[in-house]
Amino acid sequence: MNNTSNSSKNEVRLALILILVTLLSGVLLQFGLQLYADRAASRAGTAIAVSVLDEIQDGFQEIRTVQDDAAERLANLPQRKQDRLDALQLDLLMVVSAESPLPEGYAPELDTVVGDYQLDARCASLCWQMMQDCRESGHGLPMICSAYRTQEFQQFLFDNKVYDVLWEETNDREKARELAATIVALPGTSEHQTGLAADIMDEVYPYLNEWQEHTEAQQWLMEHCSEYGFILRYPDGTSDITGIIYEPWHYRYVGGKFAREITKRGITLEEYVAWRRGR
């Protein structure tokens, strides 16, 4: 009986041991699998991280390449841009006024139109051709009466106009200067100092006033001047824009392309320049 009882107890202990071993084995197996999985994930993560780092480095290299290319282009841009601007001759669109005086020491390359009258070398022959074509068409007798002016001559003209206004309209010298500046530009602010402007009148009416617009020569010039690269610089009704009185005799060279666009739009040089800047 005792032997049987001891045998049963041994079997129970053995069963319990087997169960514990089985449970422990399961735990160890699970721990082992998790550890393996973690290490595998770690290895995979490392591989992914390395791959990502490689891609980032490649990206940085591409960025550096782009930056280097951009830097090279930027280094070359000023000259290319200057060449392009020179080709377009945008300097022909310079607005010269009391608000925008000429750069100090500005000196255009000049050529003779006729007699002692000179203009910028780019437009002197065109001005002469325009007047000749007007004559040959039988529409008046255009003659140039003012072209390029030096700083000193512009000062002389302005001072004379101040004296005229003092004599004819007001004894207030400051007011006289203001009124004179609407008729004769202050030295350094006159288009005539650019060499791009010419005053042209009809010999049959040699007076620079608004009646000049009714002469045959002015009628023809107003209609055809853009064909030669000129515009009527101070049209009627634009004094609030230009700051200058209506001058149906004052022609300004801006080049063929710009002259056609300005004439087609029916606007002043100031408005055209503003439009181009805003495009």
Active site residues: 247
Is the CA virtual torsion 219, 222, 225, 227 positive or negative? negative
Is the Cβ–Cβ distance between 127 and 198 less than 8 Å?
Answer: yes
Query: CA-to-CA distance for 44 and 36, rounded, in angstroms?
Result: 12
Structure tokens at 236: 């009627």
Selection from 119, 128, 89, 96 nearest residue 228 by Cα: 128
Is the Cβ–Cβ distance between 263 and 231 less than 8 Å?
Answer: yes
Query: CA-to-CA distance for 267 and 275, rounded, in angstroms?
Result: 10
Query: CA-to-CA distance for 128 and 135, rounded, in angstroms?
Result: 11
Query: CA-to-CA distance for 136 and 128, rounded, in angstroms?
Result: 12
Structure tokens at 214: 């009714």
Backbone dihedral angles phi then psi of residue 39, each to the nearest 5 degrees:
-65, -40
Structure tokens at 166: 């003092």
